[in-house]
């Protein structure tokens, strides 16, 4: 009985030791863990454009709506009868600070590691521009 138990133990240890890549089954080679620079930069640009443009909640939303409705009479915009919740002031902040600047910081670190000069230059210019817009809009912002 002792020899059978010892042989089963030895056989099971050999089987378990031979399966070193069994735990690698959850690694998907088609789903990278880190985005490349060419994917991060467009994301930053889209979030920045959404925050500054006339997209939903963008900084240009108020102006574009007012100009669009100047030819109509009796509208809320023409009567200056805006409500406090007509324009979300947190949306541009969220798009710039939470999404664009976080992605931009990730891109700058990755570009510096890879010595990707064009991405590093574009990233630094965009970062300075976004901070200048944020300071103009909200005053002192965390850096």
pLDDT digits over 90-119, tens only? 778 888 888 899 999 999 999 999 999 999
For residues 120 and 90, is the Cβ–Cβ distance under 8 A?
no
**Do residues 91 and 57 touch, judged by C-beta distance below 8 A?**
yes
Under the banding of pLDDT at 50, 70 and 90, the label for residue 143 is confident
The model's confidence at residue 68, banded by pLDDT at 50, 70 and 90, is low
Top-confidence residue, 85 or 35: 35
| Mean pLDDT taken over the chain | 78
pLDDT score at 80: 59
Q: What are the residue ranges of helices labelled H in 19-116?
A: 37-52, 61-68, 90-93, 101-114
Highest mean pLDDT (candidates 14-18, 33-37, 57-61, 106-110): 106-110
Q: What percent of the chain has pLDDT over 70?
A: 66
Mean pLDDT of 32-59: 81
Structure tokens, 27: 């690694």
Q: Where are the domains of the chain?
A: 34-138
Considering the entire predicted model, what is its pTM?
A: 0.63
């Amino acid at each position: 009985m002792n020899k059978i138990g010892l042989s089963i133990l030895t056989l099971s240890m050999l089987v378990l030791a031979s399966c070193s890549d069994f735990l690698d089954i959850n690694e998907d080679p088609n789903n990278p863990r880190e985005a490349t620079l060419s994917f991060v930069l467009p994301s930053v640009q889209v979030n920045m454009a959404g925050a500054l443009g006339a997209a939903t909640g963008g900084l240009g939303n108020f102006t574009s709506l007012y100009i669009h409705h100047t030819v109509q009479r009796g509208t809320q915009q023409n009567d200056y009868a805006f409500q406090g919740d007509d324009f979300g002031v947190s949306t541009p902040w969220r798009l710039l600070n939470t999404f664009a600047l976080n992605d931009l910081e990730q891109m700058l670190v990755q570009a510096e590691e890879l010595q990707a000069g064009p991405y590093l230059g574009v990233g630094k210019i965009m970062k300075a521009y976004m901070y200048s817009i944020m300071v103009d809009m909200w005053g002192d912002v965390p850096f």
